[in-house]
Amino acid sequence: MVALQLAPGAAFDPNSFDEFLAGRPDAGVKWSPRFVRVTPELPTTATSKILTRHLRAERWECDDPVWWRPERGAHLRRLTRADVVALRQEFAARGRERELDAR
């Protein structure tokens, strides 16, 4: 997952984001985030360090818009509530639902 804080007034364009990643030779051909969370403000400490543990705990289950790739190589699309339910069911089917509730 990648969490992005956009500049004021900017909008996230998933196609442009994929084009940007494709043009990054240092990122490698296999690296592309499955989830992209766009937030108005990243959680930070008093010394302005990003609180990644908060982002990790909330994952894709947050109030921020989240885009995702249902499978490798697919285009990003907006995550829906039905997608979240299906993801939870997939974790449960694999005996991993405890990982989602460990906050």
Banded pLDDT at 103 (limits 50, 70, 90): low
Question: Would you say how long the chain is, in residues?
Answer: 103
Name 5's bridge partners.
39
Res. 80: pLDDT tops 90: yes
Q: Where are the domains of the chain?
A: 2-101
Cα–Cα distance measured from residue 47 to residue 64, given in angstroms and rounded to the nearest whole number: 24
For residues 39 and 5, the answer to whether their CB atoms sit within 8 Å is yes
Q: What is the pTM of this model?
A: 0.84
Give tens-digit pLDDT for 17-74: 988 888 887 776 567 889 999 999 999 999 999 999 999 888 888 999 999 999 888 8
Strands (E), 1-103: 2-5, 35-39, 66-68, 77-78
pLDDT at 65: 95
